[in-house]
Amino acid sequence: MSADRERAVTEAFVALATSLADGADVVDMLSGLAADTTRLLDVDSTGLLLADHRGVLHVVAASSEATRTLEVFQVQRAQGPCLDCYRSGRPVNVSDLSAEAARWPQFAAAAAEAGFASVHALPMRLRDQVLGTVGLFGTTVGALGEDDLRLGQALAYVAAIALVQEKAAQDQALITAQLQTALDSRVVLEQAKGVLAQRSGLDMEPAFAVLRGYARDHNLRLTEVARAVVARDLPAELLLAHAAARDERHRPSPS
Amino acid sequence: MIIGHLDVDAAEALVRLRAYAFSHGLSASQAAWAIVERRVSLAEEESFQVRPDSDGRPA
């Protein structure tokens, strides 16, 4: 492992541990994890799927907020490597998706249309319970290396711990409630992205960045900001003005 | 996006989405994609939906 990569891996775990200790917003934290995973591993996109109490998978966070990409992750509620991984509790490695069109016709078509050629699905496990999966998507054919898979799996386990706080880990009803809270937060986030996208003409990805930027700069939880936007207690125009002012400040020295 | 456009709450937005989908012979999911991709705007549909002689048949 190069020194740069080692530092980046350390930073990813430190970021997770810090947000856990601070009681950070779970969807915000998992979005950060998806971005870190994509940067650290040899993949192009990461989607975190979480099961509801009926065992149906839902997108809870992703490295891309583009609707078409989220749809590729979400279609796996019906079929796909992440669903198989969730049901078996074991990794599902697909180095060439085009060879699996018969196995997952609907998923393979959606993934191909979005430009994906390979998928590695890793279980998010808490003791003997699988909470969901981490889907690692590549735009080229090929298997991930052993080191990448191990690192991905370690991040997936930490994500599971982040989702279920320790005190709740023995109590199935509390686990279910905490997972449902994460899923509900995701729904509100999608609605808030839509409000901002509609008011501004922005795509979903920059609309998400506006929400997250506002939350961070005001030291608010992402979910609370999203909820206020959807309730129209917090005008979309205010967030957009804040983002514009932020861009202005950062223009002279882009980071 | 319907919430942002029509200034309604999420439950009302879902009702509007379903109404639009039904009146156009679409699934709710198809209607949602059309809105997200800005191929249709529900605000423009308002006058159509409240028109007195509207019989609710698919357009």
Using CA coordinates, name the residue in chain A closest to B36. A194
Q: Are B1 and A67 a contacting pair at CB < 8 A?
A: no
Owner of token pair 């590695």: A120
Q: pLDDT 10s digit of each residue in chain A, 255 long?
A: 678 888 888 888 888 888 777 777 889 989 999 999 999 998 999 999 999 999 999 999 999 988 888 888 888 889 999 999 999 999 999 999 999 999 999 999 999 999 999 999 999 998 889 999 999 999 999 999 999 999 999 999 888 888 887 666 678 888 888 899 999 999 999 999 999 999 999 999 999 999 999 999 999 999 999 999 999 999 999 999 999 998 888 776 554
Residue A178: predicted pLDDT: 86
Q: How many residues does chain B have?
A: 59
d(CA A132, CA A41): 19
Query: Bigger pLDDT: A162 or B17?
Result: B17
Residue B27: predicted pLDDT: 94
Q: Are B1 and A236 a contacting pair at CB < 8 A?
A: no
Taking a C-beta distance cutoff of 8 angstroms, is the pair A211, A239 a contact?
A: yes
Residues of A in contact with B1 (CB under 8 A): 194-195, 197-198
> Between B2, B4, B9, which is nearest A199 by CB?
B4
Q: Are A194 and B1 a contacting pair at CB < 8 A?
A: yes
> Between A67, A191, A196, which is nearest B10 by CB?
A191
Residues of B in contact with A197 (CB under 8 A): 1, 4, 36
Residue B52: predicted pLDDT: 44
d(CA A19, CA A223): 15
Residues of B in contact with A196 (CB under 8 A): 4
d(CA A86, CA A50): 9
Compute the nearest-CA separation of B31 from chain A (Å).
Answer: 14
A13 by Cβ neighbours in 10 Å (0-12 / 13-18 / 19+) ranks as: middle
d(CA A177, CA A226): 20
Residues of B in contact with A230 (CB under 8 A): 3, 9-10
Q: How much is the pTM? A: 0.83
Residue B47: predicted pLDDT: 44
Per CB distance under 8 Å, which residues of A are interface residues toward B? 67, 191, 194-199, 204, 230-232, 236
Q: B22-56 pLDDT, tens per residue?
A: 999 999 999 999 999 999 887 765 544 444 444 55
Using CA coordinates, name the residue in chain B closest to A187. B10
Using CA coordinates, name the residue in chain B closest to A68. B33
Residue B49: predicted pLDDT: 47
Q: Are B3 and A197 a contacting pair at CB < 8 A?
A: no
Compute the nearest-CA separation of A147 from chain B (Å).
Answer: 39
Residues of A in contact with B9 (CB under 8 A): 230-231
d(CA A120, CA A144): 8
Instruction: Extract long-range pairs of A103-111: CB within 8 Å, 24+ residues apart.
Output: A104/A79, A104/A80, A105/A79, A106/A75, A106/A78, A106/A79, A107/A72, A107/A75, A107/A76, A107/A78, A107/A79, A107/A80, A107/A81, A110/A71, A110/A72, A110/A75, A111/A72, A111/A80, A111/A137
Q: Are B5 and A198 a contacting pair at CB < 8 A?
A: yes
Residues of A in contact with B36 (CB under 8 A): 67, 194, 197, 204
